[in-house]
Every structure is written in structure tokens, then in C-alpha cells.
Amino acid sequence: MKYIIFKDTVSGLIQPVVFGEHTSHHQVKIDRSEPISAGFFYFENGNIKVYDRSDSLNLDSKEDDLDYIIKVFMNAGTMFFIPI
């Protein structure tokens, strides 16, 4: 699986997007938002592992990305995506 972490340029809201291998990172866009990190992830023994980077966006994955991806799968509310 792939992911991109976007940041809204007006509100600062973090918007993680997860998608399949058949889509290139550069094809995924959100209006009024810019990508701040991107990479790949997989599930292993009940855990999510984040790795690598997006060459098409020239962005690395970051340590915080794992927390955002977990929150996406937990269906966490918007309050968990507002940076402090």
C-alpha cells in the first residue's frame, strides 16, 4: 500500500491518504493542500510498518506518518489531524 500525508495550506489540517500500488503518488491530489511526506506501508503481525519514499513526489516518509496512518484505519475524528 502507498500513502501521502497532505497539509491544508489554509487551516493546517493534516490529511493522510492511503491507496493501492496501482496508483502513482503524483496522481493523488487534494485541492488547497500540499504533500509533506509520502511512502509505502504494509501490515506485519498486527502492526503497520512504514518504509521508503515517493520518487515521483521527491518526498521521504517521516516518523510521524505511522501515527497518522494508524488513525486513518481507526477512523479517528478530525481533531486527531489538527497539528499542535
Q: What is the pLDDT of residues 32-79, one digit of tens each?
A: 999 999 999 999 999 999 999 999 999 999 989 999 999 999 999 988
Please compute Rg for the chain using Cα positions: 12
Is the pLDDT confidence value at 28 over 80?
yes
- Kindly tell me the burial class for residue 54, based on how many C-beta atoms sit within 10 Å of its own C-beta (0-12, 13-18, 19 or more): buried
What average pLDDT does this structure show over 15-37?
Answer: 97
Is the pLDDT confidence value at 20 over 90?
yes
Does the pTM exceed 0.75? yes
